[in-house]
Each structure stands twice: as C-alpha cells, then as structure tokens.
Amino acid sequence: MKRLNKAFYTFRWRLFNACIRRRFAAFGAGSRIYPRPILLKGEKYIHIGKDVTVGEQVQLTAWDQFCEQRFAPTIVIGDGSSIGTGAHITAINRIEIGKNVLTGKYILITDNSHGDADAALLETAPDKRPLVSKGPVIIEDNVWIGEKASILPGVHVGRGAIIGAGAVVTKDVPAGHIALGVPAQIKKIPSIHE
C-alpha cells in the first residue's frame, strides 16, 4: 500500500509540473514545485533555474496589475535553490534569488507594500491602498534564510550571508554577515580561524 501511495504521489507531482512549466518565463530542468501551492500568479514573469525545489503551500506572486496600477514585475530563482514550505514571495518590481539559496519554512520576501506610512491613507482599507515598492530585493548566492524570516523591499543580501530565524530584514546584509532579530541587527560571521 505504501508503494502504491508513493507511486501515485510521484505521478501526481510529475503531472502537475508538466502542466505548469509552460506558464513560467523559464522553468529549468530538474526543477519541481510541489503540487499544493496556495497561489501562483504572474508565472510569465517568474524565472526558475535548474534543480530548484519549491515546497508545498508556497505563494509565488508577480503582480503586473493592481486596481488601476500597472507594474513590470520579475522574480528570478537561481539554480539549486530550495524554497521552504509556506514561503510567500511577492513582487511588483524585482526579486532576485541567487544560486543555492536555502530557505526555512514560512519566510516572506517582498519588494512591495500596501501604501506608504501616510496619514491620508489611513482612512482607506489596506487592501485598497496603492502598492508601492522601495526597490528590488536581491539575494546573492549561497544565502541561508531561517524559518519565518522576512526580507523587506529594497534589501540586498550578500553572498553567503545568513538570515536568522524570525529576523525582519529592513537594510542590506553584506556578504559573510548574519542578520538576527527584529529589526535585524547585522554582525560579521566569525571565521573558524578567529
């Protein structure tokens, strides 16, 4: 019975990926999205490299239109990266995730928000406020993003950096540094020779 269940799950996974791969701007060989994503939007703006794994219940959204606004979004996920279960990656501008990036579960990577901190907008329902971006999010190669971390608009995360579990990253993280806390504090990762 277990073998039959596994065979059915594998068949369903392969069929799902065969059906959706054509909807993406790019979908590299060996890449897979588990069959139960909560939301895929704007796949034609999403580039998935080779050997990428996208876990279950992930939201990948590239918004080209919201209310009367128009955008030119791009999401790039580099070769060998693994996006954990429940991740939410959303763009109206640009999100670039480098090669071999590993994320924990329930992370948020966003280049946008519903409105600025403007008193005039407070009388407007949050889901009716205009979307704004403070800039793209760039995550370089070999970055490790811990569970429930958030990376907010305009942030650049350098090569090999670590984003601690639960961190809220609001400013750039240089290569070889770690971001911990809310808001995240940045510290150099010590060398094993130090």
Residues acting as catalytic residues: 88
The single residue listed with the structure tokens 């639960």 is 166
Main-chain dihedrals φ then ψ at residue 126, nearest 5 degrees: -55, -40
- C-alpha separations of 57 from 38, 70, 88, 116 in Å: 5, 27, 9, 29
Cβ partners under 8 Å of residue 21, min gap 6: 27
Cβ partners under 8 Å of residue 28, min gap 6: 48, 49, 50, 51, 52, 79
CB 52 within 8 A of CB 17: no
3-class SS string, 103-142: ECCCCEEECCEECCCCHHHHHCCHHHCCEECCCCEEECCC
H-state helical runs in the chain: 2-20
